[in-house]
Amino acid sequence: MRRKQYELGAGLFATQQSSMHKCAASDDMSGVKKFRGGLHPTEIDAQDRWGNTALALACQRGHTNVVRTLLEDGASLSVQNSKGQSPMHIAVIGGHIETMKILAEYGADSCVRDNTGSLPAHYAAQADDIQALEALLDISRETLNGRMHNGMTPAHTAALFDSPNALRFLHEHSAQCNLLSNIDLAGETCAHKAARVQALRALHYLESIGALSSSLCNYEGDSASHLAKDQLSAWRFE
């Protein structure tokens, strides 16, 4: 699985992180338990300079025992860091499926957006992470259809990052995911996105389901097949 690394901050143990942050990030259960019952409700959700709570750092590393303990003690699922990422975003970015399931068990919202408008499903699609998409589908089907600020759906993201497995999953499990006609704010379909970046695997899948149309143009007047002809000399589009 291809997964881009996202930084939640410049350093894991920065001076502005509390002892609780450090314990959560390092999977120090004995340290976390020392705080049980001794924190004011607002303290458990204290944020470091990058906006990360102890729960966020535990989700980043997939420390399931710490995550469950913090949630049992009342940690908030809705606090977002400076990038707008919720605990669910962070768990998806890390590929931590069991952490995602625990968050869902405690009522995490899978449709929350970060600063770019991305839902957790956009990150799962980017990473071609079928397990993460399945876990998100179990929470809410709507999360598979959410749009970023630029109008891109998770399917657009999958095409842009050459994630054919995610494209197939979204096509098969989302009634609103029409890979042929869904367009973003630039008037582009998934095929346009794949053609622009020479995403061959995504283009192969899109062609196999008839999602490449020479007549459907973006707002600049380009069809996906035209873009592919210009950029992929090895491909032949009629």
Residue 17 has pLDDT above 80, yes or no: no
Query: Stretch 81-108: mean pLDDT, rounded?
Result: 97
Residue 6 has pLDDT above 60, yes or no: no
Q: What is the pLDDT of residues 114-172, one digit of tens each?
A: 999 999 999 999 999 999 999 999 998 889 989 999 999 999 999 999 999 999 999 99
The C-alpha atoms of residue 232 and residue 97 are separated, in whole angstroms, by: 36
Q: Which domains can be identified in the chain, with CATH numbers? A: 17-109 (1.25.40.20), 119-238 (1.25.40.20)
- pLDDT-based confidence at residue 8 (cuts at 50, 70, 90): very low
Predicted local confidence at residue 134, as pLDDT:
96
Dihedral (CA of 225, 231, 237, 238) sign? positive
Query: Stretch 74-92: mean pLDDT, rounded?
Result: 96
Q: In a 10 Å sphere around its CB, with 0-12 CB exposed, 13-18 middle and 19+ buried, how is residue 91 labelled?
A: buried
Residue 89 has pLDDT above 70, yes or no: yes
The C-alpha atoms of residue 194 and residue 174 are separated, in whole angstroms, by: 20
Residue 234 has pLDDT above 70, yes or no: no
Predicted local confidence at residue 10, as pLDDT:
36
Residue 34 has pLDDT above 70, yes or no: yes
Counting residues of the chain whose pLDDT is more than 90, the rounded percentage is 57
- Phi/psi at 223 (5° precision): -85, 160
Predicted local confidence at residue 32, as pLDDT:
79
- Is-contact 188 180, C-beta < 8 A? no
pTM of this prediction? Answer: 0.86
Structure tokens at 205: 């899948």
Residue 52 has pLDDT above 50, yes or no: yes
